[in-house]
Amino acid sequence: EKDVLILAIESSCDETAAAVVKNGREVLSNVIYSQIDLHTLYGGVVPEIASRKHIEKINQVVRKALADASCTLDDITAVAVTYGPGLVGALLVGVAEAKAIAFAANKPLIGVHHIEGHISANYIENKELEPPFLCLVVSGGHSHLVRVKDYGEYEILGKTRDDAAGEAFDKVARAIGLGYPGGPKIDRVSNEGNPEAIIFPRAKIADNVYDFSFSGLKSAVLNYLNGCQMKGIDINQADVAASFQKAVVDVLVEHSMDAVKRYHVDKFAIAGGVASNSHLRAALESACSKQGVKFFRPSPILCTDNAAMIGAAGYYEYLKGVRHGWDLNAVPNLKL
Ligand code: KG4
Ligand code: ZN
């Protein structure tokens, strides 16, 4: 059997990324240009700035991905690209790049769903992982509890009704003066705080136990901060961060373990930027071990946005025969 080499491109948010992945599981190169410093000034991602930077960087990033993998376009089997969901202007840059390369080099073009990419990051370091399994996808834009029935076959058990988990991290971090991006900062500062210092609410949703809601928690933190300010009390940044994070982690772990029991799965995986949170990883690791369930988590660099995960997902789409035409477009609200 001939090796399948996928050149993958990802530009859905504020990372310009390209990678070469062999047979879905082996990363030959993984180039990520992060725009974070550019957006920090504004306290969040500015879509117009993101698109412009993607245009500036994408060719360099793709060239470096090919060079790092010691290959040329001739060696590539197919080109895979994230076509949604994400920021439309940002997505368009990657899609246009992928189409141009695939057309010029006469290679098949494969559009990949961003969330499918995040989930597939788990295949890279865990060669033995195969569906079926459950996956908690928690990122800046998404909080999904997904049943992976087979490669490319998903059932969404629950999702957020309002803010995504990462969005809540970013908003709370900004409110307590930690700045953007908030997730990694809350993760770090929490190590010095007491997670039991403040009891924040854990939202329950009546009609679907697997759905999430984080906006109430975010409001509770903001109310707490306002209350302290009115009373002239200094806040303890580390205690607020640790208590907020504990509330998020508790809900994510509880929902996940409910689903593990209900669906009798023996494998549980996590994905997305928030999956790099050290406290969440530790809590899920111990919850899974109590349930006798094998726990999978990508390295932090494969949790946040990257193109290697798109190459892994693209490989399985390629095997299924998925090919997109030159009319492939960015779909900002693409459904899984
Ligand atoms: O997956 P990702 O890179 O982009 C999206 O697809 O959204 O996720 C970015 C999100 C941001 O909200 C960021 O604050 C959060 O992931 N994040 C974290 C951590 N690292 C990144 N949240 C909590 N703890 C972390 N260590
Ligand atoms: Zn993402």
ipTM of the complex: 0.98
pLDDT score of 43 more than 90: no
Question: Does residue 206 have a pLDDT over 80?
Answer: no
326 bridge partner residues: none
Q: Is the pLDDT reported for residue 44 higher than 90?
A: no
pLDDT digits (tens, 9 = 90+) for 231-263: 999 999 999 999 999 999 999 999 999 999 999
Provide the b/e sequence for 153-187 (b: ≥16 CB within 10 Å).
Answer: ebeebbbbeebbbbbbbbbbbbbbebebbbbbbbb
Percent of the chain with pLDDT over 70: 100
Q: In what order do the strands lie in the sheet with 153-159?
A: 153-159, 143-150, 133-138, 267-271, 294-296
The ligand with the least distance to the CA atom of 180 is 1
Which residues place a Cβ less than 5 A from the ion ligand 2?
Answer: 139, 305
Domain at 131-298, CATH homologous superfamily = ATPase, nucleotide binding domain (3.30.420.40)
SS3 105: helix
- Least confident interval from 13-27, 51-65, 202-216, 225-239: 202-216
Which residues have a Cβ under 8 Å from the Cβ of 221 and sit 6 or more positions away? 172, 175, 176, 200, 240, 244
pLDDT > 90? residue 128: yes
Lowest mean pLDDT among 9-23, 207-221, 314-328: 207-221
pLDDT band at 125 (very low <50, low <70, confident <90, very high): very high
**In whole angstroms, what is the distance from residue 74 CA to residue 41 CA?**
41
141 is in an annotated binding site: yes
Interhelix angle for 308-319 vs 114-125, to 10°?
A: 100
Of the chain, the percentage scoring pLDDT greater than 90 comes to 94
- The size of the chain, in residues, is 336
Kindly report the protein residue whose alpha carbon is nearest to atom 18 of ligand 1: 183
Task: Please list every protein residue whose CB sits less than 6 Å from any atom of ligand 1.
Answer: 13, 139-141, 166, 169-170, 181-184, 187, 272-274, 276-277, 304-305
Give domain 5-120+303-319's CATH number out of 3.20.20.70, 3.30.70.1450, 3.30.70.360, 3.30.420.40. Answer: 3.30.420.40
Residue 100 tokens, joined: 């141009």
pTM of the model: 0.96
Give, rounded to a whole angstrom, the gap between the first and last alpha carbons of the chain: 31
pLDDT at 303 over 80: yes
Question: 169, 279, 302: which to mutate for ligand 1, most atoms within 8 A of CB?
Answer: 169
Rounded distance between C-alpha atoms, residue 9 and residue 110, angstroms: 10
Least confident window among 35-44, 69-78, 106-115: 35-44
Residue owning the nearest CA to atom 23 of ligand 1: 183
pLDDT, position 1: 79
State the pLDDT at residue 196.
Answer: 97
Nearest CA, atom 13, ligand 1: 183
- Is 137 in contact with 143 (CB distance < 8 Å)? yes
Q: What is the pLDDT of residue 181?
A: 85
pLDDT number for residue 120: 98
pLDDT score for 208: 86
Ligand 2 centroid from CA 228, angstroms: 35
Tell me the pLDDT tens digit for each residue of 135-194.
999 999 999 999 999 999 999 999 999 999 999 999 999 999 998 889 999 999 999 999
Q: Is residue 291 within 8 Å of 256, Cβ to Cβ?
A: no
Could you check whether the bond before residue 132 is cis, i.e. omega within 30 degrees of 0? yes
Position 126 pLDDT exceeds 80: yes
CB count within 10 Å of CB 285 equals: 14
CATH 3.30.420.40 residue spans of the chain: 5-120+303-319, 131-298
Query: In the predicted model, what is the mean pLDDT of the chain?
Result: 96
What is residue 254's three-state secondary structure?
helix
